[in-house]
Amino acid sequence: MRVFKFGNIIILIKDLRKFLFSFLAILGVFLFSLVGGITYFYVKFFKRMNPKVVYESLQAENMELRKTLRIISQKLDSLYARQRQLATVLNIPTYNLSSDNLGIGGQIRDFDIDKITAYAKYQEDLMKKLEERVKIMGEEVRRIPSIPPVNGIFSSGFGVRRDPFTGGFEFHKGVDLSAPTGTPVVATADGTVEKAEWNSGGYGNMVVINHGNGIKTLYAHLSKILVRKGQKVKRGQMIGLVGSTGKSVAPHLHYEVEVKGEAKNPLRYILVDVK
């Protein structure tokens, strides 16, 4: 699967807020209509119909409502996942919430709707915090890595993996994105080039960018380096070309994100889906 181009972070936050408000409005209308419809059905027909028929009808209504609640929960989970990703980039703490660990679903109960409402309210409050942080940070937002460094295919993740050379286990400090030799590699945020050199430790041709506030990014195995040490670069600016230099078995980009000396999963800082 491809790594798609990023969108502007501020526009993305506004789009998320617009989607959230629209979704909450639709949810409110749906729940109001549903409760009204069930109430009308109960008052109008309960005394006239066979109890068994009424029971089976209510069971069917319950099943449909459960399906609808699950769809709503999945949409809220998807939205929250994107919000948490933005919150990670903007250094805002969040809770590891989902409709599953909130216990939404199963037999329909009044507190299911209460939990969904509370879940949506939490997301609305988080959205406000995101907007406030963006306003406060201003241009500093551009110094946070948040776009794909290359248009490539995700081939290896962050964490413990088998070394393709030795077969033993190692900690992979970044992610690998496969792409043809010569594919442009771009800076994922504004910053200053700290290193632009050959690395004998396995990275080959390598660029390290210091973005300030303890954040650095590393781009390795380049076929060509297009920047120099001390150079100022902008987010999206080309800094090199994909290659297979150093400890590499095929053309790809090895990409790392470091925050205050600690390696972080770069995928948590890329504001698009990477598959």
Summarised one tens digit per residue, pLDDT across range 221-231 is 999 999 999 99
188 CB-near residues (< 8 Å, 6+ apart):
145, 146, 147, 148, 149, 217, 235, 255, 269, 270
The pLDDT confidence band at residue 212, using thresholds 50, 70 and 90, is very high
Give the span between the Cα atoms of 57 and 71, in whole angstroms. Answer: 22
Q: Which secondary-structure segment (H or E) carries 19?
A: helix 9-45
Which pLDDT score is estimated for 214?
Answer: 93
148 CB-near residues (< 8 Å, 6+ apart):
3, 4, 5, 6, 177, 188, 270, 272, 274
The pLDDT confidence band at residue 175, using thresholds 50, 70 and 90, is very high
pLDDT mean over 245-267:
93
Domain(s) labelled CATH 2.70.70.10 in the chain stretch across: 144-269
The pLDDT confidence band at residue 201, using thresholds 50, 70 and 90, is confident
Q: Name which of 63-67, 199-203, 223-227, 239-243 the model is least confident about.
A: 63-67
Which pLDDT score is estimated for 4?
Answer: 41
| Helix, strand, coil share (%) of the chain residues, nearest 5 | 40, 25, 35
CATH topology of domain 144-269: Glucose Permease (Domain IIA) (2.70.70)
Per-residue model confidence as pLDDT tens digits over 64-109: 777 777 788 788 887 777 777 777 777 777 767 666 666 655 554 5
Q: Tell if the pTM clears 0.85, that is, is over it.
A: no
In the predicted model, is pLDDT for residue 204 greater than 50? yes
In the predicted model, is pLDDT for residue 54 greater than 90? no
Look over the chain and give the mean of its residue pLDDT values, rounded to a whole number: 79
The pLDDT confidence band at residue 30, using thresholds 50, 70 and 90, is low
With a pLDDT cut of 70, the percent of the chain lying above it is 70
The pLDDT confidence band at residue 255, using thresholds 50, 70 and 90, is very high
